[in-house]
Structure 1
Amino acid sequence: MRYINANKILPKELILKLQNFVHGEYIYIPAIEDQHKHWGERSGSREEIDNRNLEIIEAYTSGSSIQDLAEVYCLSVYAIRKIIYSKSD
């Protein structure tokens, strides 16, 4: 998350009003509930991880061992199990 100077985006009247409550401090303004982005949605990381996890599950169901998958994907055996069993729910 990056910070934006309020003077660049908010009207002066609103800044003056906010300064009645807080000044010289950082303030977090949450996203509107239906506009909230989950982790990795902006960068595409979430989609990459989801695709990787599907590859792992497909490889496992095709006969690859958990140990082999851990080595191929540089993950722990525990992480591979977690991926495989979380998708079978």
Structure 2
Amino acid sequence: MAHYRNGKDVLPPKLLQQIQQYIEGELLYIPKQNEQRAGWGELSGTRERIKLRNEEIYNAYCSGRSIRELERMYYLSGESVRKIIGKYNRASG
């Protein structure tokens, strides 16, 4: 669990003055060195589920489904469906 420390107590005075030129009196998060953070949706599986859904959308489109049908099937806007299809078209071309 993170806890807060006063910069005056842990930083050399010269470094504290330099930091105060950018941020003063606000909270600042300093990440651990070489911290490996999971990307968005990696831990929850959301990223993989969306990838599979997008592949389904592209395959359904290639099999003859219209964009309007895909909008209704996946509760997405036509613009979102077009972006998904475009992404797969570029990747395969």
Residues 51-62 of structure 1: matches in 2 within 5 Å?
51-62=52-63
Give the aligned partner of residue 17 of structure 1: 10
CA–CA distance in structure 2, aligned partners of residues 31 and 67 of structure 1: 47
| Correspondent of 1:4 among 2, 8, 14 | 2
Q: Which runs of 5 or more residues in structure 2 are unaligned?
A: none
Structure 1 stretch displaced more, 63-72 or 27-36: 27-36
Residues 1-89 of structure 1: matches in 2 within 5 Å?
4-6=2-4, 16-18=9-11, 21=16, 25-30=26-31, 35-89=36-90
TM-score by length of 2: 0.65
Shift of 1:33: 6.0
TM-score by length of 1: 0.68
SS for the counterpart of 1:88 is helix
Q: Which has the larger radius of gyration?
A: 2
Q: What is the count of residue pairs matched by the alignment?
A: 81
CA–CA distance in structure 2, aligned partners of residues 33 and 45 of structure 1: 25
Give the alignment's Cα RMSD to 1 decimal: 3.1
Q: Share of identical aligned residues, percent?
A: 42
Shift of 1:25: 4.8
